[in-house]
Structure 1
Amino acid sequence: MSQEKPPVPSGRRRGGLLPNARDIKAWEEGGGRGLRGFLRRTIRAYLRWNRALLLDPWIRYRPAVQLLEGQTGDLQRTLDVGSGENGLARFLGREVVGVDLDFPATVRWSNHPATLLRAIRATATALPFRDGAFDTVVSMDMIEHLPTGERPKALREMLRVARRTAIVGFPYGRRSREFDRSALAVERDRGIELGWRQEHVLRGTPGEEFHDEIIRTVGAVRPEMTLSWFGHEGMRGLRLRWRLQFLISKDSRLYGLVFFPLYRLHSRGRPKHGYRRIYVFKKAAGGKPGDRVRRPARNSVRDPD
């Protein structure tokens, strides 16, 4: 007598490694005990995680979080300039004062019972704080949204209110500028309108001229601070993820499976020509002027745009 084979779940090929959309939907709605119940609970947990992913702000703030993690004591008071609702506080896991032009009526964090963001409406060029009010000031991908003439003012303000450390990152150079222009053209052809991308192109990606302005500013405003910088988020990885998002949107149940490993991989290292450049200002020991400009030795004296 031949042994009867167990039925194969409908909609799934025998031997397949991943369930298809029909199985995922069934598991999401189901419950039960045993292995099937465990799988259903696992899928439900994955879908909740998948819907809550904020990978773009995560990779943007990753360098600042890595620099600040583990620092305690007098580095607790932190300001995030241009924070929006998904800024440094969410990823650093401690209270942060956030400044932006506007915030949603209610700012909530899904993973904290109480908000870690103290939201303040203000402009980056006129921060409403006294000199040295914050031990650390962070600003990620804000500078490029300002008109060219206001960028030095914002930098001066951030250095003014930073007591010991400032971390400022933004898209930098020719490669980033060309990517944003080509991406904007393709997105428009597809009927996609991204306001932040339009501002990048309209107001111009910071380059060598602003780099020189940064060096002059720190020397004039905070001569006791050292300055270093490094690249972040390599262009190849960025282009790959940008192309994939046309195939797998953020609403897809496969989004986390595909994009989470890529973002983790592409957040590593310090590429010479990254999409973004991170500037780190630190108060020198003893507060005395010294060798202000420091940078990774592998980079040339002057990076091309």
Structure 2
Amino acid sequence: MSILPVRAWRALSARGPRYAWHKVLRRSLGRWPSWKRRLVYADPRHYWTMRGGHDYFREQEGQAARTDRIEWLADRIAAYRPASILEVGCGYGKLLRALRARLDCHLVGVDFSATQLTQARSFLGGLARVDVALASGTRLPFIDGAFDMVVTSAVILHNPPPQAEQIRREILRVARRFAAHNEETSVSYNRYGYDTAAWYRGEGLDLVECGPIPADLEPESSQFCVARLPYDLPDELSTRLG
């Protein structure tokens, strides 16, 4: 038996026919990216609900490069010493867990995938002052300026332009001081490839930092940027960030 049928059978046994069919399409359309985008990724919420769960968790946790990237991102974000953080598209909570190890502030994660959040509640279980909730980045259930910093990690890039714009606007609405983003600029079957830093510059906002992620799998197309909203940076923070 070839590998694909074995995986399909395991997927069918574990999560039913819809998930098994979704996995077959993901694995078999690699040579036809336009069809893969159309058949597999047309609806990002459906994609991540189908893909999320223990299989995705095990896949991600098994890649050392993914952990290296998260550790780097958590170090950079923690340098700003935010009083509270919202992560939009938190997945199973990998970044939130790394941030908790560095910061004592309130951490909140939202995701539109129920399967990702089920895994997050298990992965983050027992950590104090970490909350997760089901919500879309296009309509965040928070008041204006609710969080000191809002973060995304490989989230905006998965959304088509209208939704990507809504997410950016919502982030500006609920963030008080900083918006930090890890996004890819390259295009693939499931990435639209946005220059997030250029978008902030176009909005007339300052970037505290912007550059590639050294630990990323594709550093030539990765981008980490932090936009400063209209609040003054304390002198101590300016010195620490260099």
Q: TM-score normalised to the size of structure 2?
A: 0.58
Determine which of 144, 149, 153 is the counterpart of 1:140.
Answer: 153
- 1:65 maps to which residue? 74
Q: Distance in 2 between matches of 1:116 and 1:55?
A: 27
1:103 and 2:114 aligned: yes
Q: Aligned residue for 1:88?
A: 95
Which amino acid counterpart does residue 161 of structure 1 have in structure 2?
Answer: V
Paired with 2:114 and 2:65, the residues of 1 have a C-alpha distance of: 19
Structure 2 match to 1:281: 227
Deviation at 1:160, TM superposition (A): 1.5
Give the C-alpha shift of residue 147 in structure 1: 0.6
Separation in 2 of the partners of 1:71 and 1:139?
15
Aligned positions, number: 168
How far apart are the structure 2 equivalents of 1:117 and 1:57?
21
RMSD of aligned alpha carbons: 3.2
Query: 5+ unaligned residues in a row in structure 1: which ranges?
Result: 1-50, 181-197, 240-272, 288-295, 297-305
What is the aligned partner in structure 2 of residue 229 from structure 1?
210
Are the structure 2 counterparts of residues 70 and 148 from structure 1 closer, same or farther at C-alpha, using a change threshold of 3 Å? closer
Q: Helix, strand or coil for the counterpart of 1:274?
A: coil
* 1:56-205 matched pairs, under 5 angstroms: 56-69=65-78, 72=81, 75-93=82-100, 94=104, 95-104=106-115, 105=118, 107-109=121-123, 113-114=126-127, 117-172=130-185, 176-177=186-187, 180=188, 198-200=189-191, 204-205=192-193
Tell me the distance in 2 between the aligned counterparts of 1:79 and 1:134: 6
For structure 2, the residue ranges without an aligned partner over 5 or more in a row are 1-59, 234-241
CA distance in 2 between counterparts of 1:206 and 1:52 reads 26
Kindly state the Cα deviation for residue 117 of structure 1 after the two structures are TM-superposed: 3.6
Query: How many Å separate the matches in 2 of 1:238 and 1:114?
Result: 29
What SS does structure 2 have at the residue aligned with 1:199?
Answer: coil
Residues 197 and 225, structure 2, Cα contact 8 Å, conserved in 1? no
TM-score with structure 1 setting the length: 0.47
Report the secondary structure of 2:193's partner residue.
coil
Is the CA contact (8 Å cut-off) linking 1:131 and 1:162 kept in structure 2?
yes
